[in-house]
Amino acid sequence: MASDSSFDVVSKIDRMELDNAVNQAAREIDTRFDFKNTGAKIELEGEKISIEAGTEERAKATLEVLRDKLVKRGVSLKHIDPGEPALSGKIYKINCPLKEGITTENAKKVAKLLRDEGPKSIKTQIQGDELRVTSKSRDDLQTAIAMIKEAKWDFAVQFTNYR
């Protein structure tokens, strides 16, 4: 068993990059002329990002600024799940809960893809919100990583603990 190589398929948010992206977006909103006197603001509150603005259009524009900053910082847009702008009193709010970790159903989908189409030496094991992939051949693991990257998932994937 010691000769087996493995890696983990995970869906984790780099908190530092997320924090930097939110701060950059907030700074841009504070300084941009088209956001003056619109009451637009953006905050990271625990496991969600909240956006507020005076009009629905400004709220959506603020969300676009956030998306732009997330992409520039290398944070996948699949980690945020923005809702529609909701009127709360006189301001529009958008709540963006953060999605992190691979659900059991999604881990089963990845495992099924590897079982059906991947190299035969590959074994998968679900461990909480991660999926461990093991094989005796490192080439087979490289093939599995390429297959997972190619497939379109509704969650962000990263690969850790490659050994």
123-127 and 86-88 beta bridge pairing: unpaired
Domain boundary among 54, 74, 97: 97
Domain boundary among 77, 97, 117: 97
Angle at 107 between CA 47 and CA 6, to 5 degrees: 105
Higher pLDDT, 2 or 126: 126
Domain count, the chain: 2
Q: Are residues 57 and 114 in the same domain?
A: no
Q: Are residues 86 and 150 in the same domain?
A: no
Q: Is the pTM of this model over 0.75?
A: yes
At residue 116, φ and ψ (nearest 5 deg) are: -75, -40
DSSP E strands: which ranges in 73-114?
A: 86-88, 91-97
Tell me the C-alpha distance between 163 and 154, whole Å.
27
41-45 and 5-10 beta bridge pairing: unpaired
pLDDT tens digit sequence for 73-102: 999 999 999 989 999 888 999 999 999 888
